[in-house]
Structure 1
Amino acid sequence: MKVLITGSNGFVGKNLIAHLAERADIEVIPFTREDSVSRLQELVRDADFVFHLAGVNRPQTPEEFITGNTDLTQALCDAIVASGKLTPVLYTSSSQAELDNPYGSSKRGAESALLALKEQHNSPVYLFRLPNVFGKWSRPNYNSAVATFCHNIIHDLPIQINDPEALINLVYIDDVIAQFVATMDGPLSNELFVNVEPQYRITVGALAEQLRAFRNSRSSLITEPVGAGLVRALYATYVSYLPPASFTYGVPKYADPRGTFVEMLKTRDSGQFSYFTAHPGVTRGGHYHHSKTEKFLVIRGKACFRFRHILSGEYYELFTTGDEPEIVETVTGWTHDITNIGDEEMIVMLWANEVFDRLRPDTYARPVGIQA
């Protein structure tokens, strides 16, 4: 299947091409600003589907809105008619097509050309009136406030907010591309105007605050809830603006004669992740918790875990190695320790269900003692 993409060097075009490149059944035909409009007839003849992403949103003069949006779309429609094929066209319009401004008017003009193509030539047409699209490869100070804020916050540059309570509507680039590809493969409905879901609403002030929280998490180690929804999408976008020199950052490391202890990540409601080392023969722990629980995973070495109930005195021990991954979970009311019984340094990953609080550590020293 040959797919023509106008505006293939743009933000949306780059993401679309990256996704289509993962499929062996797609051949992309690119069309960029450097190509002459006269080439469209040649390119359309070979195309089985057209993603019409090209357009102008920041022109030097208002007249460029018409040439870059309405006139270019009309030229594409004329090329399809001349080809004699019923080539489907997916067009990225804008939510501003509903507004009475030069940009919105030029987008409505483009939509009208495509509607005429559908009615007079029977080519399938899919119109996407997109709100603000954000994601990786969006240009700062051009495509969206999200891109500008990400770039500036990462590079310690100021951001300008005129009204922190102003609401913006957002769609994430991966959701846009997923809907594009689904439409190409077989439209989910016969609707002329296609919506991308989910759509998000956030104030400009809250957006800036969230992006700053991503930056601050490197020092606090407290991660934001980045696993779902808008925060997930914003985080994926934020990190895409990190320069290679910022791909790494340091975390606290505490060392003593027993080995080292390193904190990696903290959460607001699901504890923290760390790791520690122990030299051969070293025992760590020797304490109990009333409410805190922990999970241990030996990554390298050999370990003996010992437990003793603080009331009954019941004793239990077990052995794990890095060769056979096995989670060991501490239980409230049992004092416990871990000993490196191997000949090499032991490395152990640790998750605790709460972030360590020095004022209320819920950690009480009590030796496990020797089994009777």
Structure 2
Amino acid sequence: MEKQINVVITGTNGFIGKNLAAEFEQLENINLEKVVRSTSRGSLEKFLNKADIVFHLAGVNRPQDESEFMEGNRDFTNEIIEIIKAQSSKPAIVLSSSIQATSENAYGRSKKAGEQLIQKFSEESDSPVFIYRLPNVFGKWCKPNYNSVVATFCHNISHNLEIKVNDENHNLNLVYIDDIISEFKSLVTDCREIKTGYKEINPVYEISLGDLVDKLESFKLSRENKMVPNLSTELSKKLYSTYLSYLPIDNFSYDLKMNVDNRGSFTEFLKTKDSGQVSINISKPGIVKGNHWHHTKNEKFLVVSGEGIIRFRKYGTKKVIEYHVTGEKLEVVDIPTGYTHNIENLGNSDMVTVMWANELFDPNNPDTYFEEV
């Protein structure tokens, strides 16, 4: 049986805490205790007394009065340390600090004070501590219009609200929430073997405010023009996942233009800049579609529902080649250039075919020549 590990997270209602708790709740070997504002002193003592590792993520960053910075970021940290000092067991402590700890402002000074308390405790108790000065963190569940520009922009753009950019050339250093969670998870089992002190989250991404806005706007537009967003970088992938998490709950879906006639329908689904497009073709029973060939354009057909036949005849020859297709046995049929081809629905219900073409349809150069198979 896997050893059970007792984990305490402070600030579990916050952005990082909520994500970390959700991850630990999936692990059978983790006994998790959550600390929030309403947690009593008695419960806090009980949790810390049996903890193997404490993730101290609670803090204050938008108080009504500057004095609350020290109360939330220094004094609460000191309270945790004093409780641990009075008990026999000494858990490892992971402190979520900020790059602002080097700044001479009220928030930065309070974060620095919390760090110093943790460092002193480690020196006196020989308890492992890990301090992370986090830059801008982005990802799902971050509160918009609070202290994250990525969350604010994702929310406002997806909700058709105004955004303000004072300096498009200003660069941000970003870390993704899942990378933080991965790093924190690694500490749970190895914290006694890892060198204590200041630690870093990698990778750190750099992006200008202008480029950030452009990316998020392209994600929004992709639902209209059907273009798959450019996800060629890790940052783009993570920003896209983040953007989708801020969609309005009544706007997860979006319509596609269906080209409908008595034969069925043809609907463009996804388009790409350099990898063609995907469409959905629906054919009524007995209907034959196609009877054309291409010079350069090529396609892939995948029947996902119904049954039918795809016929080919090489241009200038008489021999007809047939492929029987059905949604009961998924198989992709390549449509080579130079072969006139058609697809017929042989069933009693609609036949649904997913079609990929290697290039976007260009009405000025369709590369499509009609000829019966």
TM-score range relative to shorter protein: over 0.9
What is residue 96 of structure 2 aligned with on the other side?
Answer: 92
- TM-score, length basis structure 2: 0.94
Does residue 195 (structure 1) correspond to residue 169 (structure 2)? The answer is no
C-alpha separation between the residues in 2 aligned to 1:311 and 1:100?
80
Native 8 Å contact 1:41 1:82 kept in 2: no
Count, aligned residues: 368
One-letter code of the match for 1:151?
H
What is residue 242 of structure 2 aligned with on the other side?
Answer: 237
Identity %: 43
C-alpha separation between the residues in 1 aligned to 2:176 and 2:148?
12
One-letter code of the match for 1:355?
L
- Listed one character per residue, the Cα deviations across residues 320-356 of structure 1 (whole Å, up to 9, x for unaligned) are 1111111001111111111112222211111112221
What is residue 106 of structure 2 aligned with on the other side?
Answer: 102
Match of 2:54 among 27, 50, 57: 50
Q: CA deviation at 1:143?
A: 3.2
Match of 1:128 among 118, 125, 132: 132
Native 8 Å contact 1:41 1:83 kept in 2: no
What is residue 335 of structure 1 aligned with on the other side?
Answer: 340
Mapping 1:133-152, distance limit 5 Å: 133-152=137-156
Native 8 Å contact 1:37 1:72 kept in 2: no
Match of 1:168 among 166, 172, 175: 172
C-alpha separation between the residues in 2 aligned to 1:26 and 1:167?
38
CA-based RMSD of the aligned residues comes to 1.6
Does residue 287 (structure 1) correspond to residue 292 (structure 2)? The answer is yes
Native 8 Å contact 1:37 1:75 kept in 2: no
Match of 1:249 among 238, 254, 275: 254
Mapping 1:256-267, distance limit 5 Å: 256-267=261-272
Q: CA deviation at 1:203?
A: 0.6
C-alpha separation between the residues in 2 aligned to 1:99 and 1:312?
78
What is residue 225 of structure 1 aligned with on the other side?
Answer: 230
Q: CA deviation at 1:250?
A: 0.4
C-alpha separation between the residues in 1 aligned to 2:196 and 2:334?
54
Q: Which runs of no fewer than 5 residues in structure 1 stay unpaired?
A: none
Native 8 Å contact 1:7 1:55 kept in 2: yes
Native 8 Å contact 2:128 2:196 kept in 1: no
- Listed one character per residue, the Cα deviations across residues 142-169 of structure 1 (whole Å, up to 9, x for unaligned) are 1300111111111111011100110001
C-alpha separation between the residues in 2 aligned to 1:95 and 1:103?
11
C-alpha separation between the residues in 2 aligned to 1:41 and 1:244?
40
C-alpha separation between the residues in 2 aligned to 1:124 and 1:202?
34
Q: CA deviation at 1:228?
A: 5.2
Q: CA deviation at 1:225?
A: 2.6
Q: CA deviation at 1:311?
A: 4.2
Instruction: Decide whether aligned partners of structure 1 residues 216 and 68 sit closer, same or farther in structure 2, where only a CA change above 3 A counts.
Output: same
C-alpha separation between the residues in 1 aligned to 2:10 and 2:232?
33
Native 8 Å contact 1:222 1:266 kept in 2: yes
- TM-score, length basis structure 1: 0.95
Native 8 Å contact 1:296 1:350 kept in 2: yes
Match of 2:14 among 4, 10, 15: 10
Does residue 353 (structure 1) correspond to residue 331 (structure 2)? The answer is no
What is residue 76 of structure 2 aligned with on the other side?
Answer: 72
C-alpha separation between the residues in 2 aligned to 1:193 and 1:332?
60
Q: SS at the partner of 2:273?
A: coil
- Listed one character per residue, the Cα deviations across residues 295-329 of structure 1 (whole Å, up to 9, x for unaligned) are 11111122111111124555322111111111001
C-alpha separation between the residues in 2 aligned to 1:128 and 1:38?
28
One-letter code of the match for 1:225?
N
What is residue 61 of structure 1 aligned with on the other side?
Answer: 65
C-alpha separation between the residues in 1 aligned to 2:37 and 2:349?
61
Native 8 Å contact 2:138 2:148 kept in 1: yes
Native 8 Å contact 2:310 2:343 kept in 1: yes
C-alpha separation between the residues in 1 aligned to 2:170 and 2:316?
59
